[in-house]
Amino acid sequence: MASEQNRRDFLIQAGAGLSAAWLSANWPAILSAAQHAHKAAQAVAPAKFEVLTPEQAVEIDAITGQIIPTDDTPGARQAGVVYFIDRALKTFASGQKEAFADGLAQVQAKTKELFPPVQKFSAASPEQQIAVLKALENTPVFGLFRFATVIGFFCDPARGGNRSEVGWKLIGFDSSHVFQPPFGYYDKDYPGWQPNPADASKK
Amino acid sequence: MRQAGPKFETTDEVDFVIVGSGAAGGVLAKELSSNGFRVVVLEQGPYLTPDQFDHDDLHVFFENALTNKPQLQPTTFRKTSQDKANPQPAVMYGRCVGGSSVHFTANYWRFHEIDFIERSKHGPVAGTGFADWPIPYADLEPYYTKVEWEVGVSGLAGASPFDPPRSKPYAYPPLPVKSGGVIFERAAQKLGWHPFPAPMAILSKPAAGRGACVHCGYCLGFGCEVGAKSSTLASVIPIAERTGRCEIRPDSNVFRIETNERGRVTGVAYFDSQKRQQFQKAKVVVVSANGAETPRLLLLSTSKLFPNGLANSSGLVGKYLMPNSFLEVFGVYEHPLNDYKGAAVSRILHDFYEAGAQNGYCGGGGLDSRLAVTPVGFGLGGLPSDAPTWGSAYKSLLREYFTRTMSVSTHGTSLPVESNSFSLDPDLKDTWGLPALRVTYTDHPDDLKNTAFLMARALEIHQAAGARKTWHQPIQETQFFVHLLGTCRMGNDSKTSVINADHRAHDVPNLFLCDGSSFVTSGRGQPTMTIQALAYRAADRITVLAKRGDLSV
């Protein structure tokens, strides 16, 4: 469950959609799940970086901002992907600090190589930035940044990315987690399952 | 939520120790404790309850919250016995109370009559140990029904003309159809095929203190927070604990089955959560640790009497691994389907269950309509392989495709090849210092032909449905294993099988093995229903033998 708000929506919708008997039977579990989610939500990314240096954060923000750019809709920057990465490196991905530092060095080297005298990826123009990433597209370092960016953009917001669910909103993912049919366009007005009419006409 | 069962001392010789609390172990625990026996279930994973489940992809897929942990339990893979195996994640199974039934997708079709007698009908297949089961479908039918009613399966009886005979309708009506299911159904009917509501081990109505499905869509990989998905954790394990005769002991990693000088098992040695060695005495040992860990445990339990591993006089422990083939064929449609909502699968068809017979190979399969992917998964790999992977174009395709995509998935036969196997890696060790699991596997050519045939049918469905674009995964050699079948096969001849039709080890009278390893053939996918029918039947057989005094050491 994404956040306390989602959990609350979940409870409200569950209350509307489910029998009272079911709710009373399951209420303690749901309540405890809600508390769990609340704790997770409180742990949302801090304003300060804990692992990344401010300089590294600027570079990562620029790189991730090209992988999922901001155009008519929010991108990696608005999703707080750099905060997600910082938190990941502090917690479950702590073993990858070196890989990220090394990756930043490679991006910087490629920037200097292609566009002297530009010294830093973040200082390059948007067109130059795209050209640098294109040059690195098939390397493990790009794979690492892309992997982290996509996860940070679409993850559960309790993980510090996907802020305000911008990733989910982009693709039309509804985070209510409780749904009733019809779910989409093609199951509206579905008449119910019928055997293949072609078989009936054969008989 | 957790029911408190009794606690037994390790020195207390209980009637049964069951290794594993998954699809089979949970059923056996419930049945044997309900029949009056004292049971200890040892589960290597934690005892999680529904309030600890979440929809966090990172937790579930990257931190392996519910599954085996590659960091602690490394595996190796090689294609043939001539190769040196490389360390790589090769196996996934549930590692918590309830086992893989906690994280599975819950597809629950029954095997068909042909699955049990296909060797006789089809004849031998070169390069395989293809064999009939020692039991026909009819012997399992009452137990399939028991699974549907006790564990909880939703479906529509009589909807598929290919279904085997059944004695009762499904316990619950089918789950609601999804947009992908409607597209699949209309197109398949247009092609003259017979789509029907998917049988799913998910409650469509609340029952027995469990909630009905809320259609959140988080089935594959996730635990169900409302208890609608019919894991053994939600269904039978609470009943076992309420008997007062069954202790579920989590965080207990069994590494050896002990035997005495007469070749009888006396109990099992395990590491507790503190990595301390413990020994649980028992009159009878039942191993339901899954098709990978069951043979591994036998191979680890060597002794003077059993130098090649326990119950391995046939040399077949770990052999004949069958994973089922699986391939997804995607289509994108004009309007939003929102197939991320609801249980993964809502329509399937079995028109090609025996397709091989008409197409020059052995085997067949089922097709289903599904979308089982979270936003993270879709962002990482949901777009066609020729689509951009970053930048504005990537972003706009994600936006267009996520709600409009569905997959027609193929599920098919794996033939039993002796060299396809689980064994002990000679070099690599796990965190407990035990030899790691080594996988050796090369697909049988018929299995690849079958996948290609089914893939073509899946594409026809998308074309008949008017998909705007289609794409599919490549047909690849299998190197990652989720369905773990056939590795301690059942049979009447102790030279060509590991257990008899009662699941009793041919070599050890008070040792039983029951899980996916018992399978003789692979079916066409979706093995858990059959694992559980076998477990109910095994429990009946074991109870008869025990009450007759046949199991006394």
pLDDT tens, chain B, 553 aa long: 465 789 999 999 999 999 999 999 999 999 999 999 999 999 999 999 999 999 998 999 888 999 999 999 999 999 999 999 999 999 999 999 999 999 999 999 999 999 999 999 999 999 999 999 999 999 999 999 999 999 999 999 999 999 999 999 999 999 999 999 999 999 999 999 999 999 999 999 999 889 999 999 999 999 999 999 999 999 999 999 999 999 999 999 999 999 999 999 999 999 999 999 999 999 999 999 999 999 999 999 999 999 999 999 999 999 999 999 999 999 999 999 999 999 999 999 999 999 999 999 999 999 999 988 899 999 999 999 999 999 999 999 999 999 999 999 999 999 999 999 999 999 999 999 999 999 999 999 999 999 999 999 999 999 999 999 999 999 999 999 999 999 999 999 999 999 999 999 999 999 999 999 999 999 999 999 999 999 999 999 999 999 999 998 6
In a domain, B121, yes or no: yes
Q: A58 and A38, same structural domain?
A: no
Amino acid at A73: T
Q: State residue B500 phi and psi, 5-degree precision.
A: -90, -175
Does residue B205 belong to the interface with chain A, where contact is any CB pair within 8 Å? no
Report helix, strand or coil for B159.
coil
CATH assignment of the domain containing B504: 3.50.50.60
Q: How far apart are CA B531 and CA B25, in angstroms?
A: 10
Taking Cα atoms as reference points, which of A135, A145, A41, A130 lies closest to residue A93? A145
Q: A91 and A19, same structural domain?
A: no
Q: How far apart are CA B139 and CA B520, in angstroms?
A: 15
The pLDDT value recorded for residue A41 is 45
Does residue B393 belong to the interface with chain A, where contact is any CB pair within 8 Å? no
Q: A165 and A87, same structural domain?
A: yes
In a domain, B179, yes or no: no
The pLDDT tens digits along chain A (203 residues) read 334 444 333 433 333 333 333 333 443 344 344 444 444 444 454 568 999 999 999 999 999 999 999 999 999 999 999 999 999 999 888 899 999 999 999 999 999 999 999 999 999 999 999 999 999 999 999 999 999 999 999 999 999 999 999 999 999 999 999 999 999 999 999 999 999 988 876 54
In a domain, A202, yes or no: no
Asked if residues B27 and B529 have their Cβ atoms less than 8 Å apart, the reply is no
Contacts of A2 in chain B (CB under 8 A): 55
In a domain, B302, yes or no: yes
In whole angstroms, how far apart are CA B11 and each of B8, B176, B268, B278, B281?
Answer: 8, 51, 11, 10, 6
Task: Chain B: give the shortest CA distance to residue A101, in Å.
Answer: 21
Q: A145 and A75, same structural domain?
A: yes
Report helix, strand or coil for B490.
strand
Q: A63 and A34, same structural domain?
A: no
In a domain, A178, yes or no: no
Instruction: List the 318-377 stretch of B: residues with Cβ below 8 A of A.
Output: 333, 335-342, 374-376
Q: A65 and A24, same structural domain?
A: no
Instruction: List the 146-165 stretch of A: residues with Cβ below 8 A of B.
Output: 146-147, 149-151, 153-156, 158-159
The pLDDT value recorded for residue B527 is 98
Which helix (H) or strand (E) segment holds residue B281: the answer is strand B277-287
Peptide bond into A140 cis (omega under 30): no
Instruction: Tell me which residue range forms the domain holding A88.
Output: 54-171
Taking Cα atoms as reference points, which of B68, B48, B116, B5 lies closest to residue B521? B116
Q: A157 and A81, same structural domain?
A: yes
What is the separation of C-alpha B538 from the centre of its chain, rounded to a whole number of angstroms? 17
Asked if residues B155 and B145 have their Cβ atoms less than 8 Å apart, the reply is no
Q: How far apart are CA A14 and CA A176, in angstroms?
A: 10
In a domain, B50, yes or no: yes
Say yes or no for a CB contact (<8 Å) between B214 and A21.
Answer: no
Is B385 exposed, middle or buried (CB count within 10 Å of its CB: 0-12, 13-18, 19+)? exposed
Asked if residues B53 and B416 have their Cβ atoms less than 8 Å apart, the reply is no
Q: A38 and A69, same structural domain?
A: no
Tally the domains of chain B: 1
Report helix, strand or coil for A23.
helix
In a domain, A179, yes or no: no
In a domain, B346, yes or no: no
Asked if residues B41 and B25 have their Cβ atoms less than 8 Å apart, the reply is yes
Q: A140 and A86, same structural domain?
A: yes
Q: A141 and A74, same structural domain?
A: yes
Concatenated DSSP letters for B138-152?
Answer: HHHHHHHHHIIIIII
In a domain, B511, yes or no: yes
Nearest Cα residue in chain B from A158 = B56
Q: What is the ipTM of this complex?
A: 0.94
The pLDDT value recorded for residue B508 is 98
Taking Cα atoms as reference points, which of A114, A122, A119 lies closest to residue A66? A122
Q: A88 and A30, same structural domain?
A: no
3-state class percentages of chain B: helix first, strand second, coil last, to nearest 5: 25, 20, 55
In a domain, B282, yes or no: yes
Taking Cα atoms as reference points, which of A53, A86, A79 lies closest to residue A65? A79
Neighbours of A49 (CB within 10 A): 19
The pLDDT value recorded for residue B131 is 98
The pLDDT value recorded for residue A202 is 56
The pLDDT value recorded for residue A8 is 34
In DSSP terms, B331 is beta-bridged to: B406, B470
Q: Which of A171, A194, A199 to mutate to test the interface with B (most CBs of B within 10 A)?
A: A171
Q: How far apart are CA B435 and CA B316, in angstroms?
A: 19
In whole angstroms, how far apart are CA B204 and each of A13, A167, B174, B532?
Answer: 17, 31, 7, 20
Closest CB to A186 among B176, B182, B395:
B182
In a domain, A188, yes or no: no
In a domain, A199, yes or no: no
Nearest Cα residue in chain A from B194 = A196
Q: A63 and A138, same structural domain?
A: yes
Task: Chain B: give the shortest CA distance to residue A178, in Å.
Answer: 5
Instruction: Tell me which residue range forms the domain holding B114.
Output: 1-73+91-104+109-152+231-311+488-553
Is A53 exposed, middle or buried (CB count within 10 Å of its CB: 0-12, 13-18, 19+)? exposed
